[in-house]
Structure 1
Amino acid sequence: MYVTMRAALVRNAVVSVFNGGITLAILLIAPLGLAAVIANTLLVAASTLVMTTAGDGVVYFLQGGRASVESLPGRPNNRSIQRRDDVDPPSRYR
């Protein structure tokens, strides 16, 4: 799956804010000081952003850096995708 760097950053930021919100809700129930709640919430949000970005880097590395728009399946100019004749099409296409 090809995702632009901007889209990945937005996705990771949304996940971080969501995790931070859950952490904030949990920590507000606990009898902690406000500074501890805010610090823990910010640390969870920051660590989520760092770890999801690192995960994207690992996926990019494992793909070999080959994810480009030209290599996407279904593109009309992609010559490497060929129809297989030995596979029966689904019955709805007959």
Structure 2
Amino acid sequence: MYISPRAARVRNSLVSLFNGGITLILLLIAPLGLAAVIVNTLLIMSLSYIIASLADRVIVWLLPVSQTELFSEISSQSGSLRRQRQQSNVDHSPHWYQ
């Protein structure tokens, strides 16, 4: 499983917003002051983002190291198979030069 850092940041932000929204709804029902509701909601949003980011780091740490290559890197380094075969069949030193 590969997920880019940008996608992980978006996912963690959505999780924290969702948790914050649920917390805001629950705390507005409770008989608390507005400042307590706002502070608790912001704390839960920020802590859920931090916890989700830490969980991502733990998962990356637990995953085995893999040798992944991007297709663009492979094609730019090695070229097509036809080109590789043509280069391997061509004798680079002409016989008349010897």
Do the two structures share a fold, i.e. TM-score over 0.5?
A: yes
Q: Give TM-score, length-normalised by structure 2.
A: 0.67
Cα separation, partners in 2 of 1:38 and 1:67, compared to 1, 3 Å: farther
Q: Distance in 1 between matches of 2:14 and 2:59?
A: 19
Rg larger for: 2
1:37 matched to which residue of 2?
Answer: 37
SS in structure 2 at match of 1:3:
coil
Corresponding pairs, count: 71
Q: Give TM-score, length-normalised by structure 1.
A: 0.69
1:87 matched to which residue of 2?
Answer: none
Q: Which is bigger in relative contact order (C-alpha 8 A, separation at least 6)? A: 1
1:92 matched to which residue of 2?
Answer: none
Q: CA RMSD in A?
A: 1.9
Q: Distance in 2 between matches of 1:44 and 1:67?
A: 38
Structure 1 gap segments, 5+ residues each: 72-76, 78-94
Identity of aligned residues (%): 52
Q: Give runs of ≥4 in structure 1 deviating > 4 Å.
A: none
Q: Distance in 2 between matches of 1:26 and 1:56?
A: 28
Q: Distance in 1 between matches of 2:14 and 2:20?
A: 10
**Which structure has more helix as a fraction of its residues?**
2
SS in structure 2 at match of 1:49:
helix
